[in-house]
Structure 1
Amino acid sequence: MTITDKTRKVLWGRSGNLCAFCKAYLVVDASAVDRESVVGDECHIISDALKGPRHSSEYAAETIDDLANLILLCRVHHKLVDDQPETFTADTLRQLKANHEKWVKDRLGQPDHPEPIRIVRNPAEIPSHLVQVMSAKALLDLSLDCSGRYDDYPEDLTETDLDCVGALLQNLTDWVDLGINQPYERIEAQKSLTESMSELNGIGLRVYAAREKQQMRGGISAPSAFYVLHLRIVRHDDPNQIPLAAVPDA
C-alpha cells in the first residue's frame, strides 16, 4: 500500500505545513530561477520494515499508511526520531502529533473578528466596606492604576458643597488621567488634592474609598486585570459610618 492523496492532504492540512517537532515551515518559497521546495516528510510512526524504527509485529500491515500512523516532520527531525527510537517511542510521537495538530487548529480557529471588549466583575473582589481616606497620599495610592471609578455623595448637597465635591472629583480625575511619572508630579498632585480634601473637611464632608479588581476580556489580548476605585463622600455625622476598629475582619 501507499499513502493516498486524501491521507496526504489531511496530514498536511492538519499539520499546517509545519513540522510537528520544531514548527518549521515545510515549503520553501520559489526563488527567481527555481520552483518551491518541499522540505518536509510524511513519516511513519510504526515502520513496516522488519528492522525499522518502532516496528511492531502486532501492528496490522494494512494500516501502516493510515493517517493515524503518520506524522509530518522536517527532515532534520525525521532523522532524529528514527535514529533514536528508544527516546521517541510510538506513544511519544502520537502525543507529539496530537499536541501539534491541536495547536494548529487552535491558531487557525481564532475568530476573524475578536469578541467585544467587556469588563467582568468577580463578586469576591467587590469591597464589603470602604475605609476613610485621611490623606492625599493615600488617595493617590489607591487611584493611580485604576481605569475606572464609582463616585457616590449625598443627595442634599448645597451649592458650596457641590463646588467642593466637584473640585475634588475633577482634580483626582485630572491627575489619574495625566499619569504621574516623576517625583515632582506626585508632589504637585498631593499638594493639590490636600487642598481639595481640606476644603471638604472644612464643610464637614469625609472621603471613603476602596479598590476593586475586575477583569477585562475580549479583543485580541488575553484577559487582564482592570482596577476601579470606589469613592464615597459622606457627611461627618452620617450614622452609617463605622469606626475602623469596629469593622470585622473580612
Structure 2
Amino acid sequence: MKLIRTIKKHGGNVPISEKNRKILWGKSGNKCAICWHTLVLESNDFDSESVVGEECHIVSGAKNGPRSSSDFPSGKIDDVSNLILLCRVHHKQIDDQIGTYTAELLRAIKATHEAKVERKLKLEPQIGLSKNEIPDKLPVILTGKELFNLATSAYAFCNDYGDNFTSKELDEVAEFIQNVKDWGEIGRDLEPIEQIKAAKALDDYLKLLHDLDIFVFAAIDKQKIGGVSVFPVLHLSVQKSSDPNVSVMK
C-alpha cells in the first residue's frame, strides 16, 4: 500500500507530526525532563484532565529563535530528536536563558530523562495495563471507518492472530495488520480526503478477509503510567471464524 501524505505548512514549518508527539510523550513518561512534574493532571468530579506539558524545540526553526542555527537541517526541526517535553515553567526558562540552556545541555537532559523513564518502567511491575479498562471480549469490526477511527485514536498497538491460517491467508493477515498500524500512526496528519480514502482501503481489506472467512476484532483500552491514563492502546485480533477463541453471541 502506498501512503500519500499531505500536510499544510504553518508559519513556514511543517507542524510536529502526531507520530512524533506520541513518541516524545511515550519516551518522556508524562514527566517534565527537568523537574519531573506530571504533565497530564487527573480529572475530577467537576473538570476534565489538564495538560500542562509542552513539546519544546531544542533548536528553534525560527530565524532568531532560541538556539537557532543556520547549520541545523531544516528537515530535522520537528524531528523527535530535536524535541524535549517540559512543563510550561521550564519551557519559558530554557527559551529565556539560552546561555545556560544550550542545545548540547538540552540534548543531554533529554537523553538522561528518557533513559531514567525507561529504567523506572522496567523496575515498576505494577505499571501496565489497567485491567478494568480492558474489554473481556473484543467486538467484531464491520467497517473500515470504524477501524480507522480506533487506530488513529491509539498511541500503541497490541496485535494478535490465529494459528490456523494457510500461508496465503497469513500473508493477507500480516499485510492487513501492518496497514492498520501505518494508518494509525499517520492518520491524524492526513487531509480529510485522504482519511476517507484510508478508511475505504481498510473497508476493502475487511471485505477481502471476510470472503476468506476471517474476522477482525478490536477495541481500545488505556495503559497507565504512574496512575495517569495517557496511552490509548488498540487491541487488534484477526481470527478464522472456526477458531475456538471466536464466540457467537446468541
What's the TM-score once normalised by structure 1's chain length? Answer: 0.47
Q: Decide which structure has the larger Cα Rg and report it.
A: 1
What's the TM-score once normalised by structure 2's chain length? Answer: 0.47
